Amino acid sequence: MKHINIKSNQKFNYPFTRRNTSVKDNYHGVEIDDPYRWLEDDHSVETKEWVAMQNNFTFSYLNKITSRAYFQKRLTDLWDYVKYSSPIKVLNKYYFFKNDGLQNQAILYSSDELGGVENLILDPNKFSEDGSSSLGDISFSKDGNLLAYSVSTGGSDWKSIFVLDLLEGILLQDQINWVKFSSISWFKDGFFYSRYPEPKDKSIHSVKNEFHKIYYHKIGTAQIEDTLILEDKNHSLRNFYCNTTEEEDFLIISPVESTSGNSLYIKNLAINGPIFKLVDSFKYDYSVVACIEEKLYVLTNENAPNQKLISIDIKDLENPVFQTIIEEKEHYLRSCDIVGNKMFITYTVNVKSQLLVYDLKGKYLKEITLPGIGTISGISGKNRDLEGFFSFTSFVQPATIYCINTEMLSYKLYKKSNIFFDPLEYETKQEWFSSKDGTMIPMFITYKRGIVLNGQNPTLLYGYGGFNISVLPAFTLTKIPLLENGGIYVVANIRGGGEFGKKWHEAGILENKQNVFNDFIAAAEYLIHKKYTSSEKLAIEGGSNGGLLVGACMTQRPELFKVAFPSVGVLDMLRYHQFTIGWAWATDYGKSDDPEAFIYLNKYSPLHNIEEKEYPATLVTTADHDDRVVPAHSFKFISTLQSKHIGMNPVMIRIETSAGHGAGKPTMKIIEEAADKLSFMFENMGIHLI
């Protein structure tokens, strides 16, 4: 293979990518070319050679950027502070995660009292030499003697479960493989978990995930002996999530067919009873918060787009009794945590957290004033605990942990981040702008105090807009060097997310998906109109569904942006559902199998809307072990972009090795990628460091 010039008016000699013009698909009478289909085979020698060539090309460019070393050092210095998680109380011990600063993975410790001697329990940094293996779920047995935990290798969604004897400090022989999208739920001397059959296809990171099942594993036995609890041979694309209640008397099962809406099943474990269906449809969401005295507390959006809290009396499982405890309100009810016999309800009020307290009958008790305008994680703890913990963060405040007294309903500082960063030098404000159809959309704008709004500030606009996921105020350390150097960081709370409940989500799905892109484009136009920035100084960023957002906006309005970062993006909207868990996203996207859905999917699919024109400087990022959004999306997108792009802006791809969709990524890989993005952005904007 060799490097060739695709067009004479390009600055770069992009790596050669073979086109197979014979690969075509017919969608309802419309013929669609797919010349880079061969890149979907991530195991082929040709694909691996292509990956190596693209990475060599990209890193040879990045290595020449003078600001890259500065950004990497500054990020490394910023990252080097001790980070704690909120403690989890198990009987009389406290368990928590701690990272001394630059460790690739946080370490699990215990202490006998808050702030006491820290005892190392589990060090995920020892799972692999390069830190690419990470800890997933952890779950303690009821007596506190055993810890079950899952491990992901190379960032994959595939996990294996192991069991640690906490009394002896030894790893047991138990090992459960091929686990994906599963909790670990203890019952007596074992636990429930969910898994897929072992893939027979060699492409384990792209094979379609089908026939999810729930099993029970008894400690000390081989996986082959595990008891099958639930399967559905008639619905291959149905997943089963399960959890045991706090007293381990019931197994709660949530069957799902997509990313929104679930059924609700229950099994009485005390008598090993049959599985009863409390809810047998997928129209609404039902999230069980707790089980107290044979009564389930459940968050649901059934006839309540902003969610409400209900109870289900399960004394008679054949005749469960549903009752509303807290009615739907004006603002979105994001979470409910029952600690110390009280319900701590978190509302999202214009994308900011509000914390209210109720008794178990739904009587309002008090609003707890939060430390500032930002986001809390919810209250961790159990119903019998007299204390709980919550984490608070904002765009300029690192995560701070507080301990709450559930009797006095007061809280005090537990752990504060000692980062070398002064939040008082920066400010965040929320502004609203009008989208194309007149809908008002909020955004958060963060910058250094005293900044001059002259239209020349390097600005990074971030968005997601999908799957009912809310993008809430949070400290993003990788954006600090941008702010320090006169930059602006903007988060747009566009439709498709969950910031304002189910209606906000549904306004950005299926045939309404274009609303999401219109919102993001309108955000960019607003920033330019208000002289925060200009098209020559504006970058856009998004990952996964946000990668789709960036891909769609840069192909629809390429002149509006100078730099684009589509990360691990869903970019081939005609074939996304044929890989791994992609089929579950159809409730947001629709599938090209449907003639009506094909029309709108083909209209905005980033891969299929690249034309021969000039595009923003683009750095596509993906990873070789991403089995959520398979890297073929990014591979085909950049190949098409490099073949059609006309202009002097670089368009390239950065392919991380031994990494996945993002969860559990080692610290140093995060720093390196963030430094590459910031230096790429500043280089292509012609920005000189302050």
What pLDDT, in 10s, does the model give residues 394-416? 999 999 999 999 999 999 999 99
Inside any domain, residue 103:
no
Q: At how many degrees (to 10) do helices 45-62 and 667-685 cross?
A: 60
Percent of the chain at pLDDT > 90 equals: 90
Give the pLDDT confidence of 60-111 residue by residue, as tens digits: 999 999 999 999 999 999 999 999 999 999 999 999 999 999 999 999 999 9
What is the reported pLDDT for 155? 80
CA distances from 249 to 147, 187, 266, 470 (A): 20, 8, 10, 33
Structure-token match 């189910």, residue found: 502
544: annotated active-site residue: yes
Q: Tell me which residue of 250, 247, 183 sits closest to 217, measured CA to CA.
A: 183
When pLDDT is cut at 50, 70 and 90, the band that residue 5 belongs to is very low
As a whole number, mean pLDDT of residues 150-164 equals 92
Strand partners, 106: none
Domain assignment of residue 480, yes or no: yes
Tally the C-alpha atoms within 13 A of residue 482's C-alpha that lie toward its C-beta.
31
SS3 content of the chain, % helix, strand, coil (to 5): 20, 35, 45
Q: Is the pLDDT of residue 36 over 50?
A: yes
Cα 379 to Cα 87, 329, 415: the distances in Å are 11, 21, 15
Residue 349 domain flag? no
Amino acid at the residue 92: N
Residue 114 domain-assigned?
no
Report yes or no: 325 and 362 within 8 Å, Cβ to Cβ: yes
Quick check: 132 pLDDT over 90?
no
Q: Among the options 263, 335, 661, 679, which is catalytic? A: 661
Average pLDDT for 324-337? 98
pLDDT of residue 71: 98
The answer to whether residue 3 scores a pLDDT higher than 70 is: no
Average confidence (pLDDT) over 662-668: 80
- The total number of structural domains in the chain stands at 1
- Residue 315 in any domain: the answer is no
Q: 549 is in which domain, residue-wise?
A: 37-76+422-685
Structure tokens at 131: 């830190």
- Give the three-class secondary structure for 248: coil
Across the range 205-222, mean pLDDT stands at 94
Conformational region of residue 108, where left means phi above 0, alpha means psi within -120 to 50, and beta covers everything else? beta
Q: What is the CATH number of the domain that holds 66?
A: 3.40.50.1820
Residue 601 falls within a domain, yes or no?
yes
Two structure tokens written together for 52: 């190596």
End-to-end Cα, the chain, rounded Å: 42
The verdict on residue 384 lying in a domain is: no
Task: Tell me what the mean pLDDT of segment 485-499 comes to.
Answer: 97
Cα 625 off chain centre by: 16
Confidence of residue 131 (pLDDT cuts 50, 70, 90): confident
- Please tell me the distance from the alpha carbon of residue 436 to that of residue 512, in angstroms, as a whole number: 13
Residue 661 annotated to the active site:
yes
Q: Average pLDDT of the chain?
A: 95
**Exposed/middle/buried for 599, CB within 10 Å: 0-12, 13-18, 19+?**
middle
Band of residue 205 on the pLDDT scale cut at 50, 70, 90 = confident
108, β-bridge pairs: 97, 122
d(CA 166, CA 393): 32
User: Which position among 258, 544, 567, 679 bears the catalytic label?
Assistant: 544
Q: List the one residue out of 524, 464, 465, 461 whose CA is nearest residue 489.
A: 461
Alpha-helix runs per DSSP H in 356-496? 480-484
Q: What is the pLDDT of residue 9?
A: 53
Residue 86 within a domain: no
Report, as an integer, the average pLDDT of 146-171. 94
Lowest mean pLDDT: which of 6-10, 440-444, 493-497?
A: 6-10
pLDDT at position 662: 63
Residues 359-367: what's their mean pLDDT? 97
pLDDT at residue 6, rounded to an integer: 39
pTM of the full structure: 0.94
